[in-house]
Amino acid sequence: MTTPLLATDKLSAMYGKFTAVKNVSLTFAPNRVHALIGPSGCGKSTFLRTLNRMHENTPGAWIVGRVLLEGADVYAPEVSPMRLRRRVGMVFQKPTPFPTMSIFDNVAAGLRLDRGRSRTEVAEIVERSLRRAALWDEVKDRLGASALGLSGGQQQRLCIARSIAPEPEVILLDEPTASLDPLGTQRIEELVFELKRDYTIIIVTHNMQQAARVSDTTTFFYLGTMVEHGPTRQLFTTPREEQTEAYITGRFG
Amino acid sequence: MNRRTWRRLMSNTMVGLMVAAVVVAVLPLLLILGSLVLRGASSLSLSFFTSTPAPVGDPGGGVLHAIVGTLTIVGLAALVGIPVGIAAGFYCTEYRGTRLATVTRFVADVLNGTPSIVVGVFAWTWVVATQKHFSALAGSVALAVLMIPMVMRTTEELLNLVPTSLREAALALGYPRWRTSLVVVLRTALPGIVTGSLLAVARIAGETAPLLFTALGSEYLTFDVTRPMAALPLVVYKYATGPYPEWHRLAWTASLVLILVVLVLSIAARLATRQRFSRGN
């Protein structure tokens, strides 16, 4: 087993007095796709949002425990959440292109945070990111057009291109296909498979077939606790826990 | 009567009622515009825009002094009112739950409902009474006070319309909060904020009451904001209440000019804020 890139150590996430994630310790190996599954409200999205410190943007939200990126606690006082988020990118359930920006500027948005990158460099990175997100051929003739003119699936791939442009190490996908049609979903899934060569991917999904198709390891959450974690094939064929089996066979959730 | 006919009849009746409501809403506006053009356009000439009033009895004369006055007074008011209003609205959305935001919002609502003449009295005691003379500046102060709550509340409403998901998307890219607010949230809401600010400008451009005892009015063309200054609503008020039929005609024409000024301002700002996209690189 490769050394973990990202790990959590006895991590709990709270909203005020409510505990959404209870004492979760997990490791994520590099260049793998990790799926987080479980019924609605099981804490999997909250867990995901603790990994890039988006959780703390919710009023009243706090955590206990540690999140380790390459062994260093991302909640240490000297760590800037802005810097962390550039190493741990995120794509949301609904496509969120910036409506005032062109397709090009959307992808370049994260790059604009560093000074001293030449225009040609930015243009190169934008093209590379769009190619990696399998969107380049569809938009190369209209980079200056509004991103809102794209279909939902294209917008989601644009958001993926935007999140990989600053070269993060980890990409968090929070139900990235929940608002897409089957074709759009299929393209994102193919893309996820491609992207794991360069990135470590953690994907939250409601769709168990999706988890089975795209991921290498799967974690099952239930009522805020981690019930089972293991290689995807094993978790779906021979789950160790009763609850996992009940969920993946559709008996509840 | 079968179901289908009944449904169609009902539908037509409702559509008819809505059309009637639209007519009732638009008719006064059309009548006002119509009578303005009808009565005002006849005296409209180039010299009306380029000259100052002629002595009573002499033909001709214009309202250049009042056009300049309105643009100056309203311009100064907008210069203060719009930035302060936008900044205050911005604060109230960014720091929604704070006590200051709640109090500010409440005060703005009260101020929005305050009759403009009361604001004029305030400007009189604050500026005119302390300086011991009327001035265009005092008029601008009154108008700015009227503008701030209008601009603030529109800004706030429009910023609240920007989805949280956009804010989160920017934060997730590593944007600091201030940059997220400016580059993503404010920029997304900007066209609406400009329109809102413009409506506020249009509204205060027609205010007469707060100018009566601040800017006072003048017969001469002046750019000195520390002296009394003419304004279109004041000219309309003076001419319309005067004894001469010729003045009444001028009042109509001045009203028409006032509407045209507001119209030109609106169109200009719309053109300036049209959504544009960069070529890419």
Question: Which regions in chain A score pLDDT beneath 70?
Answer: 1-3, 252-253
Answer yes or no: is pLDDT of B280 > 50. Answer: no
Answer yes or no: is pLDDT of B275 > 70. Answer: no
Residue B277 is nearest to which of A85, A123, A144, comparing CB atoms? A144
Q: Identify the domain containing residue A172 by its residue range.
A: 6-248
Nearest CA-CA partner of B148 in B220, B100, B196, B184:
B196
Same domain as B95, residue B26: no
At residue A138, φ and ψ (nearest 5 deg) are -80, -25
Residue A253, in any domain of the structure: no
Residue-wise pLDDT tens digits, A200-225: 999 999 888 899 999 999 999 999 99
3-state secondary structure of A19: strand
Total number of domains in chain B: 2
**Interface contact B187-A100, CB threshold 8 A:** yes
Residue A1, in any domain of the structure: no
Domain CATH number, residue A244? 3.40.50.300
Mean pLDDT of B198-218: 88
Same domain as B262, residue B148: yes
Same domain as B130, residue B148: yes
Q: How confident is the model at residue B59 (pLDDT cuts 50, 70, 90)?
A: confident
Same domain as B33, residue B54: no
Residue B196, in any domain of the structure: yes
Strand order in the sheet with A61-69: A18-28, A6-15, A61-69, A72-73
Pairing of strands A61-69, A72-73: antiparallel
Residue with tokens 């604009």: A112
Contact yes or no for B90/B186 (Cβ under 8 A): yes
At residue A201, φ and ψ (nearest 5 deg) are -120, 130
Pairing of strands A18-28, A170-174: unpaired
Same domain as B97, residue B77: yes
Contacts of A113 in chain B (CB under 8 A): 173-175, 179
Same domain as B73, residue B10: no
Domain CATH number, residue B226? 1.10.3720.10
Same domain as B174, residue B58: yes
Residue B111: what residue type? L
Residue B176 is nearest to which of A59, A82, A98, comparing CB atoms? A82
Residue B278, in any domain of the structure: no
**Structural tokens at position A194:** 């491609």
Total number of domains in chain A: 1
Burial class of residue A166 in the structure, from the number of CB atoms within 10 Å of its CB (0-12 exposed, 13-18 middle, 19+ buried): buried
Contacts of A109 in chain B (CB under 8 A): 170, 173
Burial class of residue B209 in the structure, from the number of CB atoms within 10 Å of its CB (0-12 exposed, 13-18 middle, 19+ buried): middle
Residue B223, in any domain of the structure: yes
Same domain as B85, residue B38: no
What does the pLDDT read at residue A253? 57
Same domain as B208, residue B173: yes
Residue-wise pLDDT tens digits, B131-181: 888 998 999 999 999 999 999 999 999 999 999 999 999 999 999 999 999
Query: What ipTM does this complex have?
Result: 0.90
Residue A201, in any domain of the structure: yes
Q: Where are the beta strands (DSSP E) in chain A?
A: 6-15, 18-28, 33-37, 61-69, 72-73, 88-91, 170-174, 200-204, 217-222, 225-231
Residue-wise pLDDT tens digits, B5-42: 999 999 999 999 999 999 999 999 999 999 999 988 88
Same domain as B70, residue B17: no
The structure's pTM equals 0.82
Residue A154 Cα, gap to closest chain B Cα (Å): 16
What does the pLDDT read at residue B54? 81
**Structural tokens at position B97:** 């739950």
Residue B279, in any domain of the structure: no
**Interface contact A92-B168, CB threshold 8 A:** yes
Same domain as B108, residue B22: no
Same domain as B146, residue B127: yes
**Structural tokens at position B174:** 């590593």
Contacts of B184 in chain A (CB under 8 A): 98, 100
Q: Identify the domain containing residue B181 by its residue range.
A: 50-272
- Report CA torsion sign: A194, A196, A199, A204: positive
Residue B230, in any domain of the structure: yes
What does the pLDDT read at residue B278? 46
**What DSSP designation does B42 have?**
G
